[in-house]
Structure 1
Amino acid sequence: MSTRHLTRGVSAGAIALAMLGAAQAQTALPDIRIGAARPTSSGPGAGAGAPVQAPPPVETDADADATIIDRKEIVAERPTAADTVKLLENAPGVSWYEGGGVSRLPAIHGMADDRLKIMVGGVEPTSACANHMNPPLSYIDPNNVDRIEVQSGVMPVSKGGDSIGGSILVTPRQPVFAPPANAPAVVVAPTGPFLLGSPYPPFNGQGLRFGAQNQILATGAISAFFRTNNNGITVSGTANVATDHWSLLYNGAWSRATDYHAGGGGEKVLSTNFISEQHSATVAYQNNGHLFSLRGAIENIPYQGFPNQRMDMTGNRAYTGDAKYFGTYDWGTVDARAFYHYVAHTMGFLQDKQPAYMPMNTIGKDYGYSIKTEIPFTQISGRDLLRLGSEFHGFNLNDWWEPVPDSMMMGPFTYWNINNGQRNRLGHYAEWEAAWTPKWSTLLGVRNDTVWMNTGPVAPYDWRNPIPMPGMGGMGMGMGMGMGMGMKMMGMPNPDAPAAFAFNTQYNGRTDINFDAVAKARYQHDDVSVYEFGYSRKTRSPNLYERYAWGVGSMAMAMNNWFGDLNGYVGNINLKPEIAHTFGVTGEWRDRNGAWEARVNPYFSYIENFITAERWTNISGPAGIPFVGMQFVNHEAAIYGVDASGRVRLWESPEYGRFSVSGNVNYAFGQDFDMPNYTYCGMSGTNCYLFARNFRTTDGLYHIMPLNARGALEHRLGGWSSAVELQLVDNKTHVSFARNELTTGGYALVNLRTAYDWGSVRFDLALENLFDTLYYPPLGGSYFTLAKATNNPWNYGPVPGIGRNFVAGMTVKF
């Protein structure tokens, strides 16, 4: 990292102290959570007649690898966030691949996308796109998020399944119920992980009362945010009408942005514009410890640019249904859910890439159920909890590319990339948590997931090989002959035709029997320190594209890419499931009086059959830049690192409020042990790539975030909150040589925030990238659009990050 960046960071700290003296900004980093959510007790808004929320599932304290982002932290972050992934930026160990404005791909400890289990309520959406432009978190707006749980490292089997990197569990806004108008709100604080039933935590808000006996309660909020750099606008609203047993909740949001401008001069970053619209409605009934709810949602993205992809999103419309039952019984609790998710997605070109017609369509359908029971008992350790669960997740995918009129390469027929692809998973698990002594507790779990998948026959644009093309005839000169020009037919090779024939003549069905296990021990030395150590075995089967993307032509391979590196990819039907063996240790320390807290988590994962890719051939890129065509393969790999986070209260007084410092540091290193040695190949092509497979070497794993840190100097006085944030990112030099991954330089960014909350009205102001620094996010990928638009290879490089951005927002609640 350059001295200039560090000097700016130190200077920003001095500016921050002066600004905070005036008490203006807002809390930015989340509290560190030891285990699950902290107990909820009555607060200022919990007076008589205050509405109550639907009961959440029972949580435990036995998981130190969990980070909880609650509603308070989400409210502080959402003014700058059009994408829900951005709400995760302060969670230890979390990074993301850059993509569209609302379609980033989150990563935990260097493992991203399908290596994570991502749930939105009870729904598990699958990316239905060869470029993964519609990932799970794109289906919920930040303003509709109530809570996020991030599981990393050694995690319970009950919160995993078909994933090796971790889990991101998003809870949408929950329905609010109205107690009797004159009845006091009774809230029972949880006393431990084995509490039967769930309390109804109070909802802070006045609400409006209707009806002859004021038995109907209405609550809601309207928010609007503006971001100057990309003319970004977000408008959102929520409304809830309820009695003591029935509740009807609506949430809606609309966001749009033009292309943003990079720092250090304000050059426009092409293909970063988008529009996103989301609506959801929930009807719920609760009575005597039982909750039934039905949620429906609609999402519409008319367009979304992707600077690191050859294509853009030109349409994405999704419909979701989610049913839930949660109940408490004498013997324990039941949490049952069922869901259906339908998406119609289209890729094409926005104006700043190339004004051409080349539609690529997908229709994806997710459906499934989950049932979980928690049963406390005392027969073994004295305080035991048994979790039993069953899950099913089905996914159906059709991916086809319509013929382009008057195109010899992309016609005359429809290209079928995935035809009736089916991926089903049935899982069962058992988990036993035991508190042996006041200091020692353990968690043991086993899980089985059976994954079976298949696909129908595929088709290229043209079955002919070669494809006849009109060409120039030869020129002849001779005695008795004049100069003439004729036409003859020339042939264009069409490797997709034999590839489709070979694909259709083989049996494509595959079944994987996967097993997961976890063993953790927790030692609470005293009220200050807690230590946890454990091992987990986690398994993930390939996705449909990794197994069934069959096209071997340059264009077909280039269209199958969700990595942002502009290379092309072809599937491998013989891929094995990934198996991650993860070892982790976590130490947590907290002052008895709440003055400070800290957490350190080193981890190591050895991954069998890690799904990566080997070079196969070369493909063309913008401005004549060559890229590589790759095939998915299994290798051995390892990822290790450490996350550290903490918070310290510096000073507090009634007159000047509370001053505190918080932050986190993250480091990860990934290594592939089986990559062919391409050192002497350069971009020479197929023969050298195949020969290099005889000489194996190590290589960096793709898109591993380098050493990075975040810190915030915070102040709070009454309804006024303040923060100055500093983000430091090291150079990224350990990259994937096989994929020609780009290196990036280190940088320092400074953000200023302020907010004032009157209870019913809140104002937010923020200034991101205070010094308008030009920087390149390490996981930003390759900047395709600029090289394409200018036809200049010198304009090829990493995607630059957003420059100085002023943010203003207002929220009105009732």
Structure 2
Amino acid sequence: MKITKISQSLTIIFSVITTTALAEEQHKNNIDVITIKAPKLSLSDTAFAEGNLVMPDVADWLKTVPGANINKNGPITGIAQYRGMFGDRVSKNIGGQKIIGAGPNAMDAPLTYINPIIVESVAVYRGIAPISAGIDTIGGAVLVNLKKAEVDKAANLSGDIALSYNDINEATTLAGDVNISNENSAVLLYLTDQNGDDYQDGDGNTITSTQYDKQQYGIDIRHLAQHWDIGATWHHAETLNSGTPALPMDIDYIDSDRYNLDGAITLHEWQFKWQLGYQDASHGMDNFSQRLSMNPTMYRYNTATAQTSDYKFSLNNSDWLLGLEGYSAKHNSEITNPENAMFNIENFNNVKDQRNSLFLEWSPTNDSFSHTIGFRLKQNRADAGKVSHSMAMMNPNISALRDEFNTTDRAVSDTTFDLALNSEYQWNKALSLNAALAIKQRAPSYQERYLWVPMQATGGLADGKTYVGNINLDPETAYQLNAGFSYNNDKLTLAPQLFYQKVADYIQGSPSTDMRVKMVAGMMGDSSPLSFSNIDATLYGADMNWHYPLNQHLKLSGMVSYVRGKRDDIQDNLYRISPLNTRINLHYQYQNWQSNLALHAYSAQNKVSVLNNEIKSAGYAVIDWQVDYFVSSGFVLRLGVNNLLDKHYNDHLAGVNRANGSDIEVGEKLTAMGRNVYFALDYQF
């Protein structure tokens, strides 16, 4: 195993052997994990994947991991994508908790609920994630390790203060944490404030609805004893007046409180871990306060809430891991018009989404072979209350859709499972071969089931289409294959992988044949609404990371990713698939200085979804540059430039503009930030 420590940004595991995921995953020895470490203050020796404190969204870090990317609907609304799958298909475990957003359109996607200053690391499983990584890992798994209070007998007080400024949108970040400890107990306190205005693209166009205002704070308390430990955490997140230009509304507010209790007991060779969590989130959004809207009759305000409780219990030793894991979420969403007190839509009413699971994992080793074999059995239950619409009395189509939904049995139950095998063969000291296969299932999301009237509340798809749900959707079933190798000698590190998966009953929009749906959607300007339906789909591709030191001070590293996604029912492509892309870093280090020059290159994306009205994107290349000066132990100054050449381009996964009042038209591909000069300092004590 080769672990390369990277001060400014990360720790990377280049081989297929890892012991650095979450604590309960430390027994694994044959699953490749790339871990993006949060900024630390010691000199780096590479810059393969990187996190930073300058950009406000932790999801941005995923763009430096092979196979990973983000669907960007706004500056703080990044939806994780891995090998063509995104949203609920990619498991996000944040500090041990399953985070469920309040908004039905994923404006408050799970990674929104964290801030870079409180992140210890972001780990991404390469290839097929083990079943222990999460309840639904059909599309991969992202594990976010948060900072926790640290018991340190030598230092009673420690902390971190970070400041940054971006010139392109006058964005500022102020973040800090402090750790207070004694011999057996510790307390961690943190506070962050991030805000920025609308940005300009490479041609100087102002992109409306790209401002943000985000604050978070919290406390973590830990007590350690000889054979056990216990901790309690409270996180508060508040977001105000933040744009999402790829969606029909912007964020008015997000208000969330998250609580967590966890602990561990070690007895002989076994360790028992437990975790209990609860989150209460509310979210307001509208289409008029932050973007131009000239018709008050079309003003819309959506108030959404979600309450989620989650649990996880696990028992493990060096070879075995047994666990119980689950969550129960309740959702409500009501749409009103502040200019018309009579207008009211119950979009989602008392929707319940409950998932409970039992899993078992075995990790045997035999000479040069190592394996991880896992099975998870899942019980998925969902239900919804009756809905209403103020226009039902005037519109027989809305009335019919409402009545049909309200009289239908809305309670559903699905039993699903995940089965995965990961294997590695250590050919010699430098070369290891790895292979994995799995059958994984995912039950439908609550939007896919219970969206009863044509709406765009689709979990952040951002395709501009209106959808209706289908209560009787079948779970998705993916048949997955993955193979690769890892080569690591004294100079070159290379880790390519190939993957293929056939997904039966893939949930995707198909043209609605219901005339009532078509009539209602037509009133909102969509002549071809879609209905969530089960289809078959295929995804395949390859990705690779590499690292090569040129000399003592200069090193090259990078990654490349390719994925192809196709529908099998019709001649069309899957929607919002990242094009072929690569990242190459030239890293320099000398005495107290280090610098990184990065090239990000994307090919054109011509294989788009016609059914989703997806627009093709041209290829582009962007250069970023950053230099750090270590003033003293614990104090670093940073100067950098994103998009050094002020390139005017469209990130394919950023979607299209939906906000009136921009310098670009509604319906055009959103253009990315132009040249952004930033300054940051970080002081750790």
Judge conservation of contact 2:38–2:52 (CA < 8 Å) in 1.
no
Q: 1:26 to 1:251 in 2, by over 3 A?
A: closer
Judge conservation of contact 2:440–2:479 (CA < 8 Å) in 1.
yes
1:412 maps to what in 2? 342
* Percent of aligned pairs sharing the same letter: 23
1:745 maps to what in 2? 618
1:443 maps to what in 2? 372
Name the amino acid aligned to 1:391.
E
Name the amino acid aligned to 1:33.
F
Judge conservation of contact 2:229–2:264 (CA < 8 Å) in 1.
yes
Judge conservation of contact 2:67–2:82 (CA < 8 Å) in 1.
yes
Please say if 1:783 is aligned against 2:657: yes
2:364 maps to what in 1? 434
Please say if 1:345 is aligned against 2:283: yes
Judge conservation of contact 1:302–1:316 (CA < 8 Å) in 2.
yes
Size of the alignment, in residue pairs?
Answer: 663
2:453 maps to what in 1? 551
1:721 maps to what in 2? 594
Please say if 1:393 is aligned against 2:295: no
1:268 maps to what in 2? 206
2:468 maps to what in 1? 570
- Cα offset, 1:96, TM superposition: 0.8
The superposition leaves residues 676-709 of structure 1 with CA deviations (integer Å, 9 ceiling, x where unpaired) of: xxxxxxxxxxxxxxxxxxxxx2210001101000
2:567 maps to what in 1? 672
1:34 maps to what in 2? 15
> Any residues of structure 2 matched to 1:127-526 within 5 Å, and which?
127-179=101-153, 181=154, 207=155, 217-263=156-202, 265-349=203-287, 350-354=289-293, 356=296, 357-376=299-318, 385-406=319-340, 412=342, 414-437=344-367, 439-464=368-393, 467=394, 493-526=395-428
Query: Match of 2:191, SS?
Result: strand
TM-score of the pair, normalised by structure 2: 0.93
- Cα offset, 1:252, TM superposition: 1.5
**Separation of aligned partners in 2, 1:367 and 1:233:** 34
Q: 1:790 to 1:772 in 2, by over 3 A?
A: closer
Judge conservation of contact 1:157–1:518 (CA < 8 Å) in 2.
yes
Match of 1:59 among 26, 30, 36: 26
1:684 maps to what in 2? none
- Once structures 1 and 2 are overlaid, which stretch shifts more, 26-35 or 295-304? 26-35
Name the amino acid aligned to 1:665.
V
2:554 maps to what in 1? 659
Please say if 1:638 is aligned against 2:538: yes
Judge conservation of contact 2:625–2:641 (CA < 8 Å) in 1.
yes
- Cα offset, 1:615, TM superposition: 2.0
**Separation of aligned partners in 1, 2:608 and 2:331:** 33
- Cα offset, 1:561, TM superposition: 6.0
Judge conservation of contact 2:397–2:520 (CA < 8 Å) in 1.
no
Judge conservation of contact 1:596–1:649 (CA < 8 Å) in 2.
yes
Q: 1:245 to 1:715 in 2, by over 3 A?
A: same
Judge conservation of contact 1:34–1:61 (CA < 8 Å) in 2.
no
**Separation of aligned partners in 1, 2:458 and 2:80:** 19
Query: Match of 2:572, SS?
Result: strand
Judge conservation of contact 1:343–1:364 (CA < 8 Å) in 2.
yes
Please say if 1:89 is aligned against 2:63: yes
Judge conservation of contact 1:26–1:723 (CA < 8 Å) in 2.
no
Unaligned runs of 5+ in 1: 1-24, 41-54, 182-206, 208-216, 377-384, 468-492, 653-657, 675-696
Judge conservation of contact 2:206–2:662 (CA < 8 Å) in 1.
no
Query: Match of 1:31, SS?
Result: strand
Judge conservation of contact 2:466–2:521 (CA < 8 Å) in 1.
no
Larger radius of gyration: 1
Query: Match of 2:60, SS?
Result: helix
Judge conservation of contact 1:533–1:586 (CA < 8 Å) in 2.
yes
The superposition leaves residues 33-77 of structure 1 with CA deviations (integer Å, 9 ceiling, x where unpaired) of: 32465689xxxxxxxxxxxxxx94461452333211223579963
Judge conservation of contact 1:152–1:165 (CA < 8 Å) in 2.
no
- Cα offset, 1:272, TM superposition: 0.5
**Separation of aligned partners in 2, 1:547 and 1:91:** 32
**Separation of aligned partners in 2, 1:338 and 1:96:** 29
TM-score of the pair, normalised by structure 1: 0.78
Judge conservation of contact 1:614–1:632 (CA < 8 Å) in 2.
yes
Q: 1:119 to 1:621 in 2, by over 3 A?
A: farther
Unaligned runs of 5+ in 2: 1-5, 43-49, 513-517
Judge conservation of contact 2:269–2:317 (CA < 8 Å) in 1.
yes
**Separation of aligned partners in 1, 2:381 and 2:216:** 33
Match of 1:608 among 504, 512, 534: 504
2:645 maps to what in 1? 771
**Separation of aligned partners in 2, 1:449 and 1:650:** 49
Q: 1:30 to 1:425 in 2, by over 3 A?
A: same
The superposition leaves residues 255-283 of structure 1 with CA deviations (integer Å, 9 ceiling, x where unpaired) of: 001111111x2110111111000011001
The superposition leaves residues 406-446 of structure 1 with CA deviations (integer Å, 9 ceiling, x where unpaired) of: 4xxxx625311111100101100111111112x11222111
**Separation of aligned partners in 1, 2:584 and 2:364:** 37
Q: 1:154 to 1:505 in 2, by over 3 A?
A: same
Aligned CA-pair RMSD = 2.4
**Separation of aligned partners in 2, 1:448 and 1:633:** 24
Judge conservation of contact 1:26–1:715 (CA < 8 Å) in 2.
no
1:51 maps to what in 2? none
Judge conservation of contact 1:571–1:631 (CA < 8 Å) in 2.
yes
Q: 1:243 to 1:73 in 2, by over 3 A?
A: closer
Query: Match of 1:126, SS?
Result: coil
Query: Match of 2:200, SS?
Result: coil
Name the amino acid aligned to 1:605.
Q
Q: 1:619 to 1:33 in 2, by over 3 A?
A: farther
The superposition leaves residues 289-328 of structure 1 with CA deviations (integer Å, 9 ceiling, x where unpaired) of: 4221100010000121111111111011000001110232
- Cα offset, 1:142, TM superposition: 1.2
1:196 maps to what in 2? none
**Separation of aligned partners in 2, 1:175 and 1:37:** 24
**Separation of aligned partners in 2, 1:317 and 1:225:** 24
**Separation of aligned partners in 1, 2:442 and 2:636:** 44
Q: 1:578 to 1:457 in 2, by over 3 A?
A: same
**Separation of aligned partners in 2, 1:618 and 1:782:** 25
2:37 maps to what in 1? 70
- Once structures 1 and 2 are overlaid, which stretch shifts more, 75-84 or 521-530? 75-84
